[in-house]
Amino acid sequence: MSQVVVLSIMLLILSCGTKPPEELIIGSWEAVMGNETTIVEIRSDGTVQAVDEDIQRWSLEEDGDNLVFRIMDFDDGSLEAELTMVFDGNDCVTLSDESGVRMTMERTE
């Protein structure tokens, strides 16, 4: 069997068990940015909230090869942040903005 066929079969098997990013992001995360750490709860109802912060809305969509995570004001829906999201497995994700500011999040539960 050729290497291309074997690789294709392996990728198919691996992709069958993978959840879509919209499901993977749901949960409680420890977010680290610089020297600051906080807990962020991302909920399936489209809301997100960091400890001691106001509740906000979120969306996630594919833009070419990138995942774009948007955070919006809960009341008026105005855009507050647009971040590129990269998963490293199911329990670690890195978010970065256009200026290069990065936040790493690890699942807490």
> pLDDT per residue over 70-91, tens digit each?
999 999 999 999 999 999 888 9
**Residue-level pLDDT at 56:** 97
**Residue length of the chain:** 109
The model's confidence at residue 11, banded by pLDDT at 50, 70 and 90, is very low
DSSP 71-101: EEETTT--EEEEEEEEESSSSEEEEE-TT--
Q: Is the pTM of this model over 0.85?
A: no
Q: Which domains occur in the chain, in start order?
A: 21-107 (2.40.128.570)
